[in-house]
């Protein structure tokens, strides 16, 4: 089974400060990890992913995330937050090992509401 | 099209009625997923289509839920005899060829069952 935990329902940060949104995961094999962002009344927008290679992944809008295998974490970071970054952020995982025909569906965390204060 | 589209964007129905939700995936994407997002919850996997293979229905919560995908493109999710607990946002996602892991989501259909 695969699972994701986002331990913080809400993160508040002042504009211009660095931000971190935490994510830990559990899979039986190697993980494929994703971050998505959801603005009000919108679908999920893809931010970045880790499949293999460099542990530091850079994505859209200046976001980055670091894969830490020993801590089973994939925290989302941005050096300088913008008010426009305020949204709901979801971490997702899939076990890299799969059999032909399996769904390869993502398991999502419960989301973290990020509020950037002006 | 440029992205995944879903219709309607909002649907209000009465308990016991049937509803159909539509998803148009990104052109050329072979994999299509339906998820449900309930208030304050993460996303719950419902069903998966891959090309002409039999769909993976392992996430459907009850036999009132069904889905089909015609011609390997457009998909319809049908909920029969709707219940109030079916109220949620229903999200569709598509994914490209094998080796492409990213799922791209549509804007969702917000369903309210009165």
Q: Give the CATH number of the domain where residue B26 resides.
A: 2.60.40.10
* Contact status, residue B79 vs residue B10, Cβ threshold 8 Å: no
Which residues of chain A does B105 touch, with a Cβ-Cβ cutoff of 8 Å? 36, 43-46
| Phi and psi angles of residue A43, each rounded to the nearest 5 degrees, phi first | -80, -175
Residue B109 covered by a domain: no
State the nearest Cα–Cα gap between A66 and chain B, in angstroms.
18
Chain B interface includes A60 (CB < 8 A) = no
Domain assignment present for residue B110? The answer is no
Residue of chain B whose Cα is closest to the Cα of A39? B107
| Distance of residue A108 Cα from the nearest chain B Cα, in angstroms | 6
CATH number of the domain to which A83 belongs: 2.60.40.10
Q: Does A27 touch chain B (CB under 8 A)?
A: no
pLDDT above 80: residue A78: yes
Domain containing A27: what range?
3-117
Measured in whole angstroms, the distance separating CA B41 from the mean position of its chain's CA atoms is 17
Residue B105 lies in a domain: no
Q: For B43-98, what is each residue's pLDDT tens digit?
A: 899 999 988 888 999 999 999 999 999 887 899 999 999 999 999 999 999 998 76
Residue B15 counted as domain residue: yes
Contact B42 A110 (CB under 8 A): yes
Q: Which domain holds residue B15?
A: 5-98
> Does the residue B103 lie in any domain?
no
Domain presence at residue B25 = yes
pLDDT at A102 over 80: no
- Please tell me the total count of domains within chain B: 1
Kind of pairing, strands A112-117 and A10-14? Answer: parallel
pLDDT digits (tens, 9 = 90+) for B15-48: 999 999 999 999 889 899 999 998 777 789 999 9
In angstroms, the CA A5 to CA A20 distance is 14
pLDDT class for A103, splitting at 50, 70, 90? low
Task: Count the neighbouring beta carbons within 10 Å of the beta carbon of residue A63.
Answer: 20
Q: How many domains does chain A have?
A: 1
Candidate from B31, B42, B107 with C-beta closest to A42: B107
């Amino acid at each position: 089974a695969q699972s994701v935990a986002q331990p913080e329902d809400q993160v508040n940060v002042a504009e211009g400060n660095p931000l971190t949104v935490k994510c830990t995961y559990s899979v039986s094999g190697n993980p494929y990890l994703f971050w998505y962002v959801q603005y009000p009344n919108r679908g999920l927008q893809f931010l970045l992913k880790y499949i293999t290679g460099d542990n530091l992944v850079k994505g859209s809008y200046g976001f980055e995330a670091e894969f830490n295998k020993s801590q089973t974490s994939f925290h989302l970071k941005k050096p300088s937050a913008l008010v426009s970054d305020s949204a709901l952020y979801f971490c997702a995982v899939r076990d890299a090992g799969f059999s032909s025909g399996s769904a390869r569906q993502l398991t999502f965390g419960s989301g973290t509401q990020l509020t950037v204060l002006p | 099209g440029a992205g995944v589209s879903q219709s309607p964007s909002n649907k209000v129905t009465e308990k016991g009625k049937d509803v159909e939700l539509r998803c148009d995936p990104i052109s050329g994407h072979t994999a299509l997923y339906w998820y449900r997002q309930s208030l304050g919850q993460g996303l719950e996997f419902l069903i998966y289509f891959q090309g002409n293979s039999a769909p993976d229905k392992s996430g459907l919560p009850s036999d009132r839920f069904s889905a089909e995908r015609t011609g390997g493109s457009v998909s319809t999710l049908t909920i029969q005899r709707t219940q109030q607990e079916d109220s949620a946002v229903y999200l569709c996602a598509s994914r490209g060829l094998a080796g492409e892991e990213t799922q791209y989501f549509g804007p969702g259909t917000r369903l309210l069952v009165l």
